[in-house]
Amino acid sequence: MSSQFDSFEDVYANAQEAVGVTLFTASVIADDGTSMARVYTTHPDVYPVGGKKTLAGDTNPVWLEQVLDGQRPFLGADTEAVRAFFFDSATIESLGCGAIVNVPVVSNGRTIGSMNFLGPEGSYDQRSVDAAVDVARRSVHLLEKALTAAN
């Protein structure tokens, strides 16, 4: 079994190697479950730490059902999927990303956040999802700490 990561920088380094990422972020559920707050980002100029997306207004309900409620990863393998599911798809595309894997981070049976892996269109498949799930599983304790700090 792989060990836990010591920091988000370690998570990012592993994500680059295991999944391949152009943009990587981690978010926790905040504001009594009404938003997601970013706790780590590789692009703070565009997606700053502390930035939030409301779950009701900014987030696709199908994504919410699958990732946050269903605790299942989401694979958007191409630009069409990114555009269909993310209101900020133009920003995502401007960074050279056209594919995404979102993995719920679960602690004691409860979804506490997500890890978000983005890369060029067509760069992700089921192996990428499996690798991203492993990265997220090894990061739960970091999101637990961030969740406490954010709420």
Tell me the per-residue pLDDT of 87-106, one tens digit each, with 9 for 90 and over: 999 999 999 999 999 999 99
Position 150 scores a pLDDT of 64
Tell me the per-residue pLDDT of 60-77, one tens digit each, with 9 for 90 and over: 889 999 999 999 999 999
Q: Sorting pLDDT into bands at 50, 70 and 90, what band is 2? A: low
DSSP conformation letters of 60-79: -HHHIIIIIIT---EEE-SH
Mean pLDDT of 31-60: 91
DSSP conformation letters of 9-44: HHHHHHHHHHT--SEEEEEEEEGGGTEEEEEEES-T
Joined together, the tokens standing for residue 87 give 């209101």
Q: Sorting pLDDT into bands at 50, 70 and 90, what band is 147? A: confident
**% of the chain residues with pLDDT over 70:** 97
Tell me the per-residue pLDDT of 97-146, one tens digit each, with 9 for 90 and over: 999 999 999 999 999 999 999 999 999 999 999 999 999 999 999 999 99
Mean pLDDT of 47-72: 90
- Scored b (16 or more CB within 10 A) or e, 17-44 reads ebbbbbbbbbbbbbeeeebbbbbbbbee
3-state secondary structure of 86: strand
Joined together, the tokens standing for residue 9 give 């920088």
The pTM score is: 0.94
Position 1 scores a pLDDT of 44
Edge-to-edge strand ranges of the sheet holding 35-41: 52-54, 35-41, 23-30, 110-119, 99-107, 74-76
